[in-house]
Amino acid sequence: MQDKRKFRLLVGVGVVTSALIFIGLILLVVHFMNAEPPTLEVPNQIQSSQAESQETKTEESSRVALVDGSSSSKEEIIKTTESSRPPVREVDEVSNIRNFLSVYFTWELQEDSVTERAELLQELMTEKLYDKKEIEADSEVLKELIDTFNETNEINTSNSMQLLSSRYLSSQIYQDTNDETLYRITVRIAKQAPYQDAPFMIEEAYHLRFEDNHVTDLDGPKDQLRSDTNDSE
């Protein structure tokens, strides 16, 4: 009898234990089914990397735009600065002055040479100075002297003008420190009379005023065509 009781007791305990285990498994399954799925960290990291990459690209684009804008601004500033600078005229002005001197102090004892000189000086000088220096009138007188010499082989000494050819050799040009249009000129010239075998050299000083690409004034010892007789001695 006792053995039967023990057997029944063991069977009852086994049934209860099995029931408890089964109930526990059911509860565990229900708990897992109702629980939220675990959050995956890797996708978040990928999204974060993508966002950082996008921000980096945006910053780089902004930097490029800023650099390009800065470069454009610098170029505009440079262009504005260059355009606002006054033109460097000194070299051109000195060159134009030397050209004028070479024309003013050069002529041959030929009518064509004297005429060409007068025409060129009309372009290089202002009309007022051209008339003041009596370029046209003196040219006509010199051409008459040339004609007389060619016809009679004699030099007319009845007026102050000498029958001399002239050739510009060199010059020194100094700009006035207080007046940029005023220049002090030293000129070396070779002159020759038709009866002389070799030319004689002279050096003369002038004050020249140059404005608007024209010689506006010229002060010196004398007008070139009206040379003194002492020059040939």
Read off the pLDDT of residues 24-71 as tens digits, 9 standing for 90 and up.
777 776 676 766 555 545 455 545 555 555 655 555 555 544 445 455
Domains of the chain by residue range: 90-232
Which tokens go with 81?
């600065």
Sequence-distant (6+) residues with CB within 8 A of 206 are: 184, 185, 186, 187, 218, 219, 220
Strands 182-192 and 214-219: unpaired
Domain topology for 90-232: Nuclear Transport Factor 2; Chain: A, (3.10.450)
Read off the pLDDT of residues 185-196 as tens digits, 9 standing for 90 and up.
999 999 999 999
Sequence-distant (6+) residues with CB within 8 A of 98 are: 171, 173
pLDDT of residue 48: 54
Percent of the chain with pLDDT strictly greater than 70 = 64
pLDDT of residue 10: 74
